[in-house]
Amino acid sequence: MAMDILNHTKKNGLNGIMHKYEHVSHDIQAALEDNKKALAKLKKATEEVLSEGEEKMKDIAVDVQRSVKKNPWVYIGAASAGALLLGFILGKKK
């Protein structure tokens, strides 16, 4: 195969080789364009998902803040119980 290419190059020169494999170049260019389009779609979809996630997180934060302002003692008690349990577990290592 390599000898055929070498002989063909000697006979037809570089232009002959370029012409013979021109379809490969076109196929590669087409594949690159397809990949660019696919990456652009993926980027757009990712940006949309991140934007939606950011909006949901903001909504959740606002809901939690309202809930804490309405009844803070529940959250204070839960945080205290969690701290007590964590202190008990960590203090038991000795």
**Residue 4, pLDDT above cutoff 70:** no
**Residue 11, pLDDT above cutoff 70:** no
Which of the two residues, 64 and 6, has the higher pLDDT score? 64
Distances (CA, A) of 33 to 28, 38, 88, 93: 9, 9, 61, 61
- pLDDT of 2 reads 59
- pLDDT of 36 reads 92
Q: Specify whether the CB–CB gap between 35 and 23 falls below 8 A.
A: no
pTM over 0.75: no
Question: Domain count of the chain?
Answer: 1
Q: Which two structure tokens, joined as six digits, stand for 17?
A: 């080789």
- Mean of per-residue pLDDT scores for the chain: 85
The residue-averaged pLDDT of 12-22 equals 67
**Residue 84, pLDDT above cutoff 70:** yes
**Domain residue limits at 23:** 2-91
